[in-house]
Amino acid sequence: MQLMEAYTIDLQNVMSTYSGQRFKCACGCAGKHTYAKQYQELASKSRGYEVTDDEVSDRGVKIIVNKMNKLITEGYQTEVYDDFISVDTDERVYVAYFRKDK
Residue 4's pLDDT band, with cuts at 50, 70 and 90, is very low
pTM (whole model) above 0.75: yes
- How many domains does the chain fold into? 1
pLDDT reported for residue 101 = 66
* CA dihedral of 51, 52, 57, 62, whole degrees rounded to 10: -10
Is residue 9 a part of any domain in this protein? Answer: no
pLDDT reported for residue 25 = 82
Is residue 2 a part of any domain in this protein? Answer: no
Is residue 3 a part of any domain in this protein? Answer: no
pLDDT reported for residue 6 = 63
pLDDT reported for residue 88 = 95
Range of the domain at 64: 14-98
Residues 6+ apart with CB under 8 A from 81: 1, 2
